[in-house]
Amino acid sequence: MPTKTPTAEFRSFTETPDLPEPLPEPARDELRLETVMAALSDPLRLHVVRKLLLEAERIDHPCGWFGIDRPKSSLTHHFRTLRDAGLIRQRQFGLTRGNQLRVDDIEARFPGLLALVAQWKPAP
């Protein structure tokens, strides 16, 4: 019997209902500083991580929530880069894909890194 997928689009992941499995991602101890740095060297991805950090309220958010004016295929690329680097976790909620920041893993491996992202401002 297949897993029953939750229907709520903005389900809090603190409630831990029958959540779908995250898409493939590196484990906490596989995170590499150089890879994380590379992922954060792009303003678009910096914006995504910062928004998740400051406004996500521990809720999964789909790609559209970030308000980025780019083709969908470009967004797919950037979100995949973030997931491959281990910065975000992605879960398939029915049609939409929920994104959350891996705050605990990042803070455990790279303490203080997220504080730098929080104080970042995009170039003028």
Residues that bind a copy of itself (CB under 8 A): 32-35, 37-38, 40-43, 46, 110-113, 115-117, 120, 123
Token duo for residue 13:
């992941």
| Nearest alpha carbon to residue 20 among 90, 91, 73 | 91
Q: Tokens 């929530």: give the residue.
A: 65
Exactly one of 13, 19, 47, 81 binds DNA (CB under 7 A); that residue is 81
Report in angstroms how near the CB of residue 36 gets to DNA at its nearest: 13
Exactly one of 48, 79, 87, 89 binds DNA (CB under 7 A); that residue is 79
Report in angstroms how near the CB of residue 104 gets to a copy of itself at its nearest: 17
The neighbour count for residue 52, using CB atoms within 10 Å, is 25
CA angle 107, 45, 33 (to 5 degrees): 40
* Residue 108 interacting entry, from a copy of itself, DNA, none, C-beta within 5 to 8 Å by type: none
Type of residue numbered 91: R
Q: Rounded to an integer, what is the distance from CA 79 to the centroid of its chain?
A: 7
For binding to DNA (CB under 7 A), which residues are involved? 5, 7, 38, 41-42, 44-45, 62-64, 70-81, 90, 94-97
